[in-house]
Amino acid sequence: MSIVYFTKDHEWIAVSGDEGVVGITDHAQHALGDLVFVELPEPGRTVAQGGEIAVVESVKAASDVYSPVSGEVVAVNQAAADQPGLINEQPESGGWLYRLRLGNAAELAGLMDRAAYDAFVQGLE
Amino acid sequence: MSTDPSLSRTALYDLHLALGARMVPFAGYAMPVQYPSGVLAEHTHTRAAAGLFDVSHMGQVVVRGEGRAAALERLVPGDLQALSPGQIRYTMFTNDQGGILDDLMVAHAGDHLFLVVNAACKAQDIAHLEAGLAGRATVEVLSGRALLALQGPAAVTALARLAPEAAAMGFMRWRLLEVAGIPCFVSRSGYTGEDGFEISVPDHAAETLARALLAQPEVKPIGLGARDSLRLEAGLCLYGADLDPTTTPVEAALTWTLSKRRRAEGGFPGAAVVQAQLAEGPRRLRVGLKPEDKAPARAHTVVTDEAGRPIGEITSGGFGPSVNGPVAMGYVEAAFAQPGTPVRLVVRGTPRPARVVTLPFAPHRYHKQ
């Protein structure tokens, strides 16, 4: 059982135990349009909260993905790198980007839950 | 964004919204960047069948007067006096250094010249034309007209149902033509590398015409996103990215637009610079650049030699849906312009292998008679 948190930069992190899986939200993939390239971090890399950790590219533009929390990358989703369209199709499940070991679980308190994120997105439109 | 009141709207604005377009600001206009099917599907549909683009933001200008072709030649290096009635030429306004102020199409429209210029340069071009042609020819801006581009291998089939004579037009030809009963200016030209047409239509009839074209089974609406990826694969220049006041027609590899007479005679702004570059070779050249891995390299990416020395910059780059991989073009030092030359593209700090290649990435499939 995991708990999902969201950032204002439109990433999500599904946390279970001391690890989290990170991806971009459905709102983000919709705004970016068809994705054609993904640059994922090397496993073992450490990242600060809010640090640039991945890049997702549409036909038109490249966008940075910022890590919702600090930690160490333990795995990446090779399927998403091989088939970036997977992120458009399943942004909040099969199109995840990387898994990390949390550096500081207290950082989660500053993120949004789904209701708060949905309200945040509503406010953008 | 779509409701920003400071943005101009084309005659097809309401149609774009009805079709579910995502509107973005572009050159002062609210324009459709994509429709619900998305950039990839729109791009591949245009290459497979036919796409309809709203390019009404571009400027449509008429030049009249006895010596209009000779007068306009004072501003551009293209051979306009050689145009026969109904023929179109691609050329550019140059400055005194031979730099490009805008690129444009000029059609011999019988008793006048019909020009299409870029949206972002429209106001500047018109002032430049009025000043440069003063006393020699008159300039009239056709502000009440829309411009639709119908592009793709099935464009001719779709258009010929509404205007049978369109099928008989040659590439880079222009004529007056009734399309679905609406008097239009039709040219067989475009910006995708495919066969196709550009149709100038009065604003009041634009939506009727667009709907008549969209009712053809081959035709889908296409936004600016796919327009850009299509023209990039076709190796066609985007003004403001690949061409600007610091790039000359020779550096931009557009010498094919200069006739023997115009090269010899000059008589356009910056002719001395252009003639010197033709004689001695330019210092840098626009080339195609093909990344050897999957990462797109975007505009302003630094190009280096294999040792890491900067030799140029990408001016347009991204993902080519028909190529199914990254494609780019840019300027490199002339010594590196030979196709096959290995280079590096510095993407987010990492040098990535690429090669200089011959443009276009997607073969041109213009209509041949």
Q: What DSSP letter does each residue of B41-100 carry, written as one string?
A: HHHHHHHHSEEEEE-TTSEEEEEESTTHHHHHHTT-SS--TTPPTTBEEEEEEE-TTS-E
Interface check for A55 against chain B (CB to CB < 8 A): the answer is: yes
- The yes-or-no verdict on residue B221 having pLDDT over 80 is yes
Chain A environment of B298 (Cβ under 8 Å)? 61-62
Percent of residues, chain B, with pLDDT higher than 90: 98
Residues in Cβ contact with B259 at an 8 Å cutoff, skipping those fewer than 6 apart: B78, B79, B82
Q: Nearest chain B Cα to A64, which residue?
A: B348
Q: What is the pLDDT of residue B319?
A: 97
Q: Nearest-CA neighbor of B287 among B308, B307, B314, B309? A: B314
Chain A environment of B295 (Cβ under 8 Å)? 37, 39, 57
- The full set of domains in chain B, from first to last, is 13-55+144-233 (3.30.1360.120), 60-141 (3.30.70.1400), 255-357 (2.40.30.110)
Chain B environment of A65 (Cβ under 8 Å)? none
Average pLDDT for residues B133-142, to the nearest whole number? 97
Interface check for A61 against chain B (CB to CB < 8 A): the answer is: yes
> What is the Cα–Cα distance from B206 to B214, expressed in whole angstroms?
12
- DSSP H helices in chain B: 13-18, 39-48, 68-73, 122-133, 155-162, 203-214, 224-233, 260-265, 271-280
- The yes-or-no verdict on residue B205 having pLDDT over 50 is yes
Interface check for A37 against chain B (CB to CB < 8 A): the answer is: yes
CA dihedral sign of residues B247, B115, B34, B156: negative
Q: What is the pLDDT of residue B238?
A: 98
> What is the Cα–Cα distance from B202 to B179, expressed in whole angstroms?
12
Q: To 5 degrees, how large is the angle CA B53–CA B119–CA B109?
A: 80
Interface check for B229 against chain A (CB to CB < 8 A): the answer is: yes
Which pair of structure tokens corresponds to residue B266? 């000059």
B16 within 8 A of B205, measured Cβ to Cβ:
no
Band (pLDDT 50/70/90 cuts) for residue B2 is very low
In order of A17, B9, B60, B126, the CA distances from B143 in angstroms are 64, 12, 7, 12
Q: Nearest-CA neighbor of B104 among B82, B81, B78, B128? A: B78
- The yes-or-no verdict on residue B303 having pLDDT over 80 is yes
B245 within 8 A of B99, measured Cβ to Cβ:
yes
- The yes-or-no verdict on residue B1 having pLDDT over 50 is no
From A52's Cα to the closest Cα of chain B, the distance in A is 11
What Rg, from alpha-carbon coordinates, does chain A have?
Answer: 13
- Tens of pLDDT along B36-55? 999 999 999 999 999 999 99
Average pLDDT for residues A12-23, to the nearest whole number? 97
The mean of the pLDDT values for chain B is 97
Interface check for A60 against chain B (CB to CB < 8 A): the answer is: yes
Q: With an 8 Å Cβ cutoff, are A39 and B295 in contact?
A: yes
Neighbouring CB atoms inside 10 A of B363's CB total 10
Q: Which of A33, A37, A62 sits opposite B34 (nearest CB)?
A: A33
Residue A103: helix, strand or coil by DSSP? coil
Q: With an 8 Å Cβ cutoff, are A34 and B296 in contact?
A: no
Interface check for B235 against chain A (CB to CB < 8 A): the answer is: no
- Tens of pLDDT along B81-109? 999 999 999 999 999 999 999 999 999 99
- Tens of pLDDT along B255-288? 999 999 999 999 999 999 999 999 999 999 999 9
ipTM: 0.90
Q: What is the dihedral of CA B24, B26, B30, B33, to 10 degrees?
A: -40
Which pair of structure tokens corresponds to residue B333? 């030092």
Secondary structure element (H or E) that encloses residue B175, with its range: strand B174-179
Q: With an 8 Å Cβ cutoff, are A60 and B225 in contact?
A: yes
Percent of residues, chain B, with pLDDT higher than 70: 99
Residue B350 CB-density burial (10 A; 0-12 exposed, 13-18 middle, 19+ buried):
exposed
B146 within 8 A of B201, measured Cβ to Cβ:
yes
> What is the Cα–Cα distance from B37 to B351, expressed in whole angstroms?
34
Q: What are phi and psi of B360, to 5 degrees?
A: -85, 170
Q: Nearest-CA neighbor of B219 among B300, B172, B160? A: B160
- The yes-or-no verdict on residue B245 having pLDDT over 50 is yes
Interface check for A26 against chain B (CB to CB < 8 A): the answer is: no
> What is the Cα–Cα distance from A66 to A23, expressed in whole angstroms?
10
Q: What is the pLDDT of residue B3?
A: 60
- The full set of domains in chain A, from first to last, is 3-117 (2.40.50.100)
Q: What are phi and psi of B104, to 5 degrees?
A: -155, 165
Percent of residues, chain A, with pLDDT higher than 70: 100
